[in-house]
Amino acid sequence: MNTLVSTLNPARGGASAPRINYMPLLVSLLLLAVGANYLAQQAGWRQGSLWIIGALLGVTLYHASFGFTQAWRVFVADGRGAGLRAQMIMLALGVVLFFPALSQGSLWGEHVSGIVAPASLSVVIGAFIFGIGMQLGGGCASGTLFAVGGGSTRMILTLAGFVAGSVLATVNFTWWATLPSLPPTSLVKEWGWPTALVANLAVFAVIYWLTTVIEKRRHGRLVAPANPGAGKPAWWQAIRGPWPLIWGAVALALLNFATLAVSGRPWGITSAFTLWGAKALDAAGTDVAFWQYWANDQDTLFAPLSHDVTTVMDIGIMLGALVAASLAGRFSPVWKIPLRSLLAAAVGGVMLGFGARLAWGCNIGAYFSGMVSGSLHAWIWLPSAFAGSALGVLLRPWFGLSVEKTAQPSGC
């Protein structure tokens, strides 16, 4: 998911597990407990629950090192598709859970709705820009959050660029909205959930199969992912990591469904970045409220951040990743970072934020949650972002960033 995954992921340790980082662990657990209590008191039990769900997402992303950025990169550069196959499993479980509930419009008596956005030219452009930004910034939206929480100092700059790019895109957002577009289209509503479910599962299966074909042609076999957790009890591995990708895929689908049940909508990330940037500009004296983007959403702009679902979950993700990194004994921020890498982080972050706003979401809101919502725009987002990511892979060496490749067998 990010270029520092080898240092963030506890899977990359030696034979013996590093010692738990007790101080950051205690701090993160204390903040989670205090935050959950505060949110429950000030904003209601739902916000407190979403805070905890966000933390569990952070633990899952870190321990499973569940990737979008790195998974796409190693497939483009090296033909390895384990990460993409895990994404297809996640999406398949997601649509099985989501489609019936979204078709009914309620879940356990509570109203629910999906993330369905216009299928527009701005999605194509925005997703392509986002894909390039993924590879330069070193992470997607979820990857940026869990990397920051896990101790990646470089990704702090990516996050700052993400916020800046998100706000920049809202300045002329109305112009982008005038580009050619189909109306928001839900395949669940257009086709009925059984037909939409079968169609989606079929496409996921084809993508899964294609990755195996390509990987076998490239390497002669499926490359087995490293499994440093082998031989450890399941409970030990669950707490300290690393997790197999399949654990991450299942957990993310279930936690997204929990988000739907509690908040009434699927998981999203980047709208909070836009809100943070807008609030910062407003505090500095800029009349953000008069921007057309916020004209019909004044309540969100001026409400406390504790009332914003996405903000609560985003911060929860970072704290959850800090918990996971501490349990893995891998919380060790590095402050000496090459200048070219920092430049890539800044540029990539701005592209991530700008692209996400134009594309009505990121790898979570537009891709993951868009897919499980049955939104047509998600199927436009995926190939556009993948194409941008492929270009980003080619650009990485210009910034001194590595591109992972499997070592070829040697006769020596």
Distance CA 381, CA 358 (A): 11
Does 410 map to a domain? no
The dihedral over CA atoms of 194, 195, 201, 206, expressed in degrees to the nearest 10, equals 160
pLDDT at 232: 78
Whether the Cβ atoms of residue 176 and residue 169 lie closer than 8 Å to each other: yes
Amino acid in the structure at residue 342: L
Does 288 map to a domain? yes
Range of the domain at 382: 5-220+232-397
Nearest partner of 58 among 265, 241, 303, 281, judged by Cα: 241
Does 171 map to a domain? yes
Does 62 map to a domain? yes
Distance CA 218, CA 226 (A): 18
The 10 Å Cβ neighbour count of residue 242 is: 25
Does 404 map to a domain? no
Mapping DSSP to helix (H, G, I), strand (E, B) and coil, where does residue 58 land?
helix
pLDDT in tens, 219-254: 999 987 766 666 778 888 899 989 999 999 999 999
pLDDT at 262: 97
Whether the Cβ atoms of residue 390 and residue 73 lie closer than 8 Å to each other: no
DSSP 300-319: HHHS-GGG-HHHHHHHHHHH
120 bridge partner residues: 181
Q: Is 38 exposed, middle or buried (0-12, 13-18, 19+ CB in 10 A)?
A: middle
Assigned token pair, 29: 């657990």
> Up-side HSE of residue 403: CA atoms within 13 Å toward CB?
22
Mapping DSSP to helix (H, G, I), strand (E, B) and coil, where does residue 191 land?
helix
pLDDT in tens, 56-93: 999 999 999 988 999 999 999 999 999 999 999 999 99
Q: Establish whether the linkage from the previous residue to 180 is cis, with ω within 30° of 0.
A: no
pTM for the model:
0.93
CB burial string 150-181: b at 16+ within 10 A, e below: bbbbbbebbbbbbbbbbbbbbeebeebeeeeb
Does 261 map to a domain? yes
Distance CA 235, CA 197 (A): 34
> Up-side HSE of residue 348: CA atoms within 13 Å toward CB?
38
pLDDT at 9: 41
User: What values do phi and psi take at 353, rounded to 5?
Assistant: -65, -45
Distance CA 196, CA 204 (A): 12
Does 407 map to a domain? no
Low-confidence ranges of the chain (pLDDT < 50): 1-14, 410-412
Distance CA 217, CA 173 (A): 44
The one-character DSSP state at 270 is T
pLDDT at 225: 72
Domain total of the chain:
1
Cα Rg, the chain, nearest whole Å: 20
Assigned token pair, 257: 């469904």
Distance CA 192, CA 104 (A): 11
Distance CA 345, CA 337 (A): 11
* Cβ partners under 8 Å of residue 298, min gap 6: 289
The 10 Å Cβ neighbour count of residue 230 is: 8
Alpha-helical segments (H) within 220-297: 234-240, 245-263, 271-283, 292-295
Q: Is 19 exposed, middle or buried (0-12, 13-18, 19+ CB in 10 A)?
A: exposed
Nearest partner of 362 among 207, 145, 96, 150, judged by Cα: 145
Does 402 map to a domain? no
